[in-house]
Amino acid sequence: MEPGHDAVAETVRVEGTRILATLIRTVGDVQLAEDAVQEATLAALGAWPVTGVPPEPRAWLTVTARRKAIDIIRRERARADKERDSTQLIELGRTDIVPAEVVQDDLLRLIFTCCHPALSPPTRVALALRTLCGLSPAQIAGVMLTTEAATAKRLTRARQKIAAARIPYRVPPEAELPQRLPAVCGVVHSLYTSGHAPVEGQTAYDVDVCAEAIRLAELLHELLPDQSMPTAVLALLLLTEARRPARLDAEGEVVTLDQQDRGRWDNAAIARGIELLNDSLLRSNQQADAYQLQAAIAAEHARAPSYDTTDWTEILRLYELLVSVAPSPAADLGRAVAAAEAKGTTAGLALLSELTPSPRWHAVRAELLARDHRYDEAVEELTQALEGPSTDAERRHRERRLELFRAAAD
């Protein structure tokens, strides 16, 4: 690939969602903005290898996308009124199309917009992840632990409902922000999850996606500092991110939690995460929500000087609360792992038997079966896990474990 093409790909990967968010605010139409950004990307692929990469690639793409939007509007003669209004706004270079409200960040503003109360909570999360965070239906399905087909149908129905109900893409009044807060927090958390535990791809961790999620969580916390939920989300992300340096070895291979060098964990992030968690709990009168419980679980891991000294009984208790407060496949799977550590593999396997299988379910069950020296069954489970999507690093890890189980079975 030519250097100019590489620069386009990198700019779109890192800045694409922000460019789209800014353009949606400018033109007021999601589909129009998506088409314009796509055309601007094609223009960059043709221009940059010839003229060189511009000093400000993001600005170049943004300006070009605005011009492409004007061209698209002009081509749609049936929309004459919108053509005149939108073109005038863009050509005058106005950036104050929406009032100066509490939300100042384009991407966060549009996440709030996608989280309209007329849409169901899972649909809001899926729509925001697709439209504003740029995730594919397969990636969204991985984050939400559902199928790609179900995700695609949900996105189609959401867009149809938005069009039929004329749901506006705008910033809600400040008084309505708390109503949309759970869905917005869900989007930020899901965005981080998609980078921290991607469903597939070459890397086991997407630094840019996780950094963007943390940036949005910081912004949300600054926006609503007295709200316990965004504070808990930020705490959870920081406590999870603190372990990132130890998740991969020097060769980029997966290092499981029990093998990680805890000296590489980010103690400053851990300290701030625990402080934020405590502040969040005080603001909610000790009535923990799902993010607080997840952050509390992460804090228990962070406090333990070693894997063997982890308080698995407390972690199991927290997972039991999490399952009761916000049941989900991920929470159920975490509870099964905690039960195996706190009470033994039989308890963990019993809880797994109640759950719907998935690639990660098969991988967890394989490890628990191997602990009981049931290696033939472990081989079968891990083989099924390898049939599902995974990152290259995760696949290599599972393949190594599979070879170990096969050798033990022989």
List, as one string, the DSSP characters of 177-229: HHHHHHHHHHHHHHHHHHHHS-SSBS-S--HHHHHHHHHHHHHHHHHSTT-HH
3-state secondary structure of 243: coil
Q: Give the domain 3-98 fold.
A: Rna Polymerase Sigma Factor; Chain: A (1.10.1740)
pLDDT at 177: 75
Say how many C-beta atoms besides its own lie within 10 A of residue 312's C-beta: 20
Going residue by residue through the chain (410 aa), what tens digit of pLDDT does each one get? 567 788 888 888 778 877 887 887 777 677 788 889 989 999 999 999 988 999 988 889 988 998 898 888 877 755 555 544 555 445 434 444 334 343 456 777 777 777 888 888 888 888 877 876 677 888 888 778 788 899 999 988 887 887 777 776 665 777 777 788 888 898 899 889 888 877 666 666 778 888 888 988 998 898 788 899 999 999 999 999 999 999 999 888 999 999 999 999 999 999 999 999 999 999 987 688 999 999 999 999 999 999 999 999 999 999 999 999 999 999 999 999 999 999 999 999 999 999 999 999 999 999 999 999 999 999 999 999 999 888 898 999 999 999 999 999 88
Domain ranges of the chain: 3-98, 357-409
From CA 180, how far away is CA 186, in angstroms rounded? 10
Classify residue 127 as exposed, middle or buried by CB count within 10 Å of its CB (0-12, 13-18, 19+): buried
From CA 338, how far away is CA 257, in angstroms rounded? 13
Through-space distance between the first and last CA atoms of the chain, rounded to whole angstroms: 47
Residue among 38, 41, 39 at smallest CA distance from 11: 41
pLDDT at 189: 92
pTM metric for this prediction: 0.77
Q: Which residues pair with 201 in a beta bridge?
A: 391
Give the up-direction half-sphere exposure of residue 239: CA atoms within 13 A in the CB hemisphere.
28
